[in-house]
Structure 1
């Protein structure tokens, strides 16, 4: 599979190759969840997103989410997890690298169960059966 790869990712991979534990697409769902469960922080730099499923999966696995203050993210995530500029994102990540306990001991303020099918299906059924 060939995907468009931004130059910044190629540069980052080259500079950080000794530090990278996992990179890119995971061949099966179990591997994907293992990667998420081994991480402390999940970052989204999305410029196109409908629901934020990947970040909710990361939160479900215990990751501290850092998401842009745009798209669907402000509807799901409290301000604690939002950033407005690349500089703000870099500052938060730098701080977490210096003080990893800040994320490892943090109690997440987002409950991904609130967005699960079990929780939402009643509302969808009600909406779809409304006259």
Structure 2
């Protein structure tokens, strides 16, 4: 079920200047970064890029979802890390993204870790938002 305005707990606001070759800043001043296309896409690579920012947000959100699922399952995920690899490339519509999410969970066996990651993928807001829109693989 879609979220409504009355359901919103927090809203982040960011403004970009000059697109992929400029600057992005949040309205509260906590984030203010230069963005440049990566060298692989013809840019200078001097700043960060939208894919890195998306990977940062997705990995942090997924880590939170993993912690929620672990609490529900009684699993210990302390010391765990989540890595999001975000790729961009050309497709039939122009450009598209793909994501690979991996988690290192030292406190559990491989089978339990895989089950926790799969469950986290079901509840993570980023995973839910991208489902059916971009390729997201776990592993």
| Structure with greater proportional strand content | 2
TM-score bucket (shorter structure):
under 0.3
TM-score normalised by structure 1 residue count? 0.24
TM-score normalised by structure 2 residue count? 0.23
